[in-house]
């Protein structure tokens, strides 16, 4: 069955190029009315351009509907205005893809805290600003699909990207709580960790063949599925070069130690049991960790210890 976005209004941030542009074009092609948001700056967050206008022109020339927005995701009031304009024009907002981002890469030893704060502000706080701006609307209309953009750096680390990685894993955590809070309002929230050859990654020294294989168009199918009507929720997925996968935050069964063994030495002695992944689970909320702790302690009669 063809997945359609007819009668849906979508906002894509950072949509003036790269991944965001690919998402916006495909959403519009499938019937969505699209707000193309892009401050238009360089990848370090400085400067401005008319990138969003060019994408809107592409969409309109193909017969779609779109409007540009040059607001900064770091300015909450500008995001509120963007949402209000979309609602005024098209009656609602059903999809939000938080894609806007910048890079300020340096090893942590050489990183200025200004670079730390700016990257956190754009990626993490920026996504929160956009999401907060649409949240009440999505709850009231009992429909919303939100996608956060994480990264393998956030999930697994990458040298020289402490600021970026902290922001990106923060977004995965943000997703998990919003998925719980939005569930009864039919608001589904997911995280995507894309691997793509874009302006953000063009100077990493990739061979041309690899860079071309990692086109944004190969990531777009996963992004669009995760904001579709039948999308899952509370997922962390990855996409790149036509390969698609899921990532999970898991919990091992661990071990409950008697009171006398609750020492650093006791932890050292039990380490192999603690990290044994046999029987690990994927908790669906933070409360499940507490439940597992209580169950383990009950087994050894340790609740009163």
The pTM for the full model equals 0.93
The string over 184-210, giving b where at least 16 C-beta atoms fall within 10 Å of a residue's C-beta and e elsewhere, is ebebbbbbbbbbbbbebbeeeeeeeee
164 part of the active site: yes
pLDDT reading at 8 higher than 60: yes
pLDDT tens column, 182-224:
999 999 999 999 998 655 555 555 556 666 678 999 999 999 9
**What CA–CA distance (Å, rounded) separates 229 from 286?**
26
Domains and CATH numbers, the chain: 9-247 (3.40.50.720), 259-299 (no CATH)
pLDDT tens column, 27-80:
999 999 999 999 976 565 555 468 999 999 999 999 999 999 999 999 999 999
pLDDT reading at 305 higher than 60: no
Q: How confident is the model at residue 299 (pLDDT cuts 50, 70, 90)?
A: confident
Q: How many CB atoms lie within 10 A of CB 113?
A: 8
CA dihedral 271, 277, 278, 284 (to 10 degrees): 120
**Given the residues 23, 143, 164, 225, the one annotated as active site:** 164
pLDDT (mean) for 82-109: 98
**What CA–CA distance (Å, rounded) separates 171 from 187?**
17
pLDDT tens column, 148-164:
999 999 999 999 999 99
Within its chain, how far is the Cα of 162 from the centroid? Answer: 17
Task: Extract long-range pairs of 52-59: CB within 8 Å, 24+ residues apart.
Answer: 52/15, 52/16, 54/16, 55/15, 55/16, 55/17, 55/21, 55/24, 55/25, 58/25, 59/24, 59/25, 59/28, 59/34
Partners of 237 in the beta sheet? 192, 246
pLDDT tens column, 237-269:
999 999 999 999 999 999 999 999 999 999 999
Q: How confident is the model at residue 295 (pLDDT cuts 50, 70, 90)?
A: confident
């Amino acid at each position: 069955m063809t997945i359609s976005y007819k009668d849906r209004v979508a906002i894509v941030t950072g949509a003036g190029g790269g991944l965001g542009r690919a998402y916006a074009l495909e959403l519009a092609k499938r019937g969505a009315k699209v707000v193309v948001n892009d401050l238009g700056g360089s990848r370090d967050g400085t400067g401005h351009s008319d990138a969003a206008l060019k994408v809107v022109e592409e969409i309109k020339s193909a017969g779609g509907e779109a409007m540009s927005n040059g607001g900064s995701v770091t300015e909450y009031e500008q995001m509120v205005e963007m949402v209000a304009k979309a609602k005024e024009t098209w009656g609602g907002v059903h999809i939000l893809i938080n894609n806007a981002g910048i890079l300020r890469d340096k090893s942590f030893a050489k990183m200025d805290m200004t670079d730390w704060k700016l990257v956190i502000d754009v990626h993490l706080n920026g996504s929160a600003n956009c999401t907060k701006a649409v949240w009440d609307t999505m709850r009231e209309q009992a429909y919303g699909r939100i996608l956060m953009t994480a990264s393998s750096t956030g999930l697994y680390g990458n040298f020289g990207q402490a600021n970026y990685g902290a922001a990106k894993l923060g977004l995965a955590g943000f997703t998990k709580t919003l998925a719980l809070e939005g569930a009864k309002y039919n608001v589904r929230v997911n995280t995507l960790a894309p691997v793509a050859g874009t302006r953000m990654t063009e100077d990493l020294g990739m061979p041309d063949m690899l860079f071309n294989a990692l086109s944004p168009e190969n990531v777009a199918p996963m992004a669009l599925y995760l904001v579709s009507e039948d999308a899952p929720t509370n997922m962390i997925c990855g996409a790149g070069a036509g390969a698609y996968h899921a990532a999970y935050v898991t919990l091992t069964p661990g071990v409950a130690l008697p009171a006398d063994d609750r020492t650093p030495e006791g932890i050292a002695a039990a380490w192999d049991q603690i990290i044994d992944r046999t029987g690990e689970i994927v908790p669906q909320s933070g409360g499940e960790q507490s439940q597992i702790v209580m169950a383990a302690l009950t087994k050894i009669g340790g609740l009163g210890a």
